[in-house]
Amino acid sequence: MKVSIIIPCFNERSTILQVIDKVRSMRMPRGVDKEILIIDDGSADGCGALLRERTAGMSDVRLHVSVINIGKGAALRVGLAMATGEIVAIQDADLELDPDEIPRLLEPILAGKTDVVFGSRFLGPRRYGLTPAYMANRLLSWLTSALYRCPISDMETCYKVFRRSVLDGVRLRAVGFEIEPELTAKFLRLGHHIVEQPISYVPRTNAEGKKIRAWDGLKAIYYLIKYRVISHQRLLLPKPHAPASPTTATPDAAPMAATGDRRVVLPRGGVIPLPDGAAASQAAGEVDSIQRPAHVSDRATTPAPRVAAR
């Protein structure tokens, strides 16, 4: 049994190495191995170069560095495509959450009680005041519970742990923080029971690097409602078509079929080419030809995997 720990990272130079050290040193349950997948989402603080230097030679760490910043959702989908473990755990690159709690979150899955576990910041003792962020999180969790008729205390938690197979054939579209309501909504719509476990939480401020904003909360409301009302069929990837005949194949079809090339599709026609050797997981999204998203700038950090223009 292997657990793939996905760490999306954007401008977290001050904390990412500490997070990696804590994740590498944590004690896993007997018989469970781990791989660490770090997805640098176009950091502008030199984080990508730092990670290239410091993770070289770490056999349990795999790194993907994007040349542009797209969003947490896109980074997670790249991580899902790279994952080779039977179980996936998501870990933020800051120090708000303690990686030593991940093994405890694995227990209900390993015991066969559920396929999805959320770490809830609001089930344990609360060590912070009634901040706007706290109230927004409680509102979103209440809305999730009401819409999906399943009690959820912390929908926006980073600590989502699940069997990778629960996303087989599932269409993921989020590129930003809306990945949190999308994952939660699709787990529930597809009939998966979510077990919550209390976790510790040390919140940071916007000045300290917290990136989620009020606009992300409004988008979360939209996506929670959207994924509650759309048809079941639209939650899933389209079934593969029969292979095209030689007379009808498009110019792009043969190279893609021959190489098994898989890419994470973004809105407005963009995709992220996956790193060499990445697992071709359907959980990453759809497959299409390489294009540059029209809304993404050309600001680059380090020179590896690029998004090419048609």
What is the secondary structure of 251-303 as a DSSP string? TTHHHHHHHT--EEE-GGG-EEEPPTT----GGG---------TT-----SSS
Q: How far apart are CA 152 and CA 131, in angstroms?
A: 20
pLDDT at residue 148 greater than cutoff 90: yes
Domains and CATH numbers, the chain: 2-284 (3.90.550.10)
More confident call, 24 vs 258: 24
- Burial of residue 22 (CB within 10 Å: 0-12, 13-18, 19+) is middle
Q: What pLDDT is attached to residue 215?
A: 80
pLDDT at residue 11 greater than cutoff 70: yes
Confidence of residue 242 (pLDDT cuts 50, 70, 90): low
Q: How far apart are CA 207 and CA 61, in angstroms?
A: 30
Average pLDDT, the chain: 82
Q: What pLDDT is attached to residue 131?
A: 80
Q: What pLDDT is attached to residue 191?
A: 95
> What order of strands is seen across the sheet that includes strand 61-65?
61-65, 33-40, 2-9, 87-90, 160-163, 116-120, 194-198
Summarised one tens digit per residue, pLDDT across range 152-193 is 999 999 999 999 999 999 999 999 999 999 999 999 999 999
The answer to pTM > 0.85 is no
DSSP conformational letter for 198 = E
User: What is the DSSP track for 206-258?
Assistant: TTTT----HHHHHHHHHHHHHHHHS-GGGGBPPPPPPPPPTTT--TTHHHHHH
pLDDT at residue 229 greater than cutoff 90: yes
Summarised one tens digit per residue, pLDDT across range 21-71 is 999 999 999 999 999 999 999 999 999 999 999 999 999 999 999 999 999
User: What is the DSSP track for 128-149?
Assistant: S---HHHHHHHHHHHHHHHHHT
More confident call, 119 vs 207: 119
* Half-sphere exposure in the Cβ direction for 255 (13 Å, CA): 6
Indicate the range of 51-55, 197-201, 299-303 predicted with least confidence: 299-303
